[in-house]
Amino acid sequence: MREVRAWHLDDDGRLVCVAPEALWGVALEERQPPTDPVAYHGRQGKLTDWWSATTGTLVVCGSKRRTYVATELDFDPAISRFAGEPVELHWEQGRIRHRWRPDFIALTRDQQRQAVVLAPHRMGPQWRERLAALREVAAQAGWSVCMRPVPHGVRRENLLLVADFRQPAVCDQAHERALLAAFRRPRPLKEGVLASGVPEFLGRDHVYQLIWRRRLDIDWSRPLLPFSPVWAARGQR
């Protein structure tokens, strides 16, 4: 078994180094990275932050790929909080010293912690070593390990579109009820907005927001356009 040490910020913002078992119960999903993340050659895009509707805070994302996965985590109703790169793992393998930060630590609504990592382009030796070390840490810290694919194509474009409307709800309750009633059965987005009686310039934005809140649903394999079918999600009809 590898001897792994974990670096993270404690409750007072001090940098500490601990054994994996000392991570049990630590709310890393609420912490910042132990040091400022630094972009390196080969990362897609640039350092950025994702404003999370789930937590109302900024989540550190060191690349565009991480931002896309942060969007998925934010959209996932099973996730209650998550943070980007809040822990750094150090270990040695032979003469090689390793240092690595799992992409996210998340807390689910049933109070289970997950170490979330992006699915790699290819499963090379370095990746397998990192994943093995993480699984050893997770077993001692009481975490699960979740490998998330990076959303791409039409799903990613649709997700980013509705994520623009992830801010706290501003939809008038009467408008919301009218839209849910109009989309009780699948119908084109524009048609449903017109049938609801909600002003069109407001109704379209409210539909995007209700999709983000999972009160309305779409076919995620097709682009979200004015004539795309929209319907009330299960339990909303």
DSSP classification of residue 149: P
Task: Give me the phi and psi of 46, to 5 degrees please.
Answer: -140, 170
What's the mean pLDDT when you consider all of the chain? 92
Do 107 and 73 meet the contact criterion of CB atoms below 8 Å apart? no
- For residues 25 and 205, what is the distance between their CA atoms, to the nearest angstrom? 40
Please state the φ and ψ torsions of residue 47, each to the nearest 5 degrees.
-60, 140
Beta partners for 88?
7
Closest CA relative to residue 51, chosen from 34, 64, 70: 70
The full set of domain ranges for the chain reads 5-148, 153-232
**Six token digits for residue 113:** 């912690």
Q: Is the pLDDT of residue 42 over 60?
A: no
CA distance 224 to 230: 9
Would the pLDDT of 237 be above 70? no
pTM of the full structure: 0.90
Q: What is the DSSP letter of 95?
A: T
209 pLDDT more than 50: yes
Q: What was the pLDDT predicted at 62?
A: 85
Interval 12-25: pLDDT, tens: 999 999 999 999 99
Instruction: Determine the 3-state secondary structure of 101 from DSSP.
Output: coil
Helix (H, G, I), strand (E, B) or coil at 164: coil
| Residues forming beta bridges with residue 106, ordered by sequence position | 82, 114
- Domain 5-148 bears CATH identifier 3.40.1350.10: yes
CA atoms within 13 A on the CB side of 15: 7
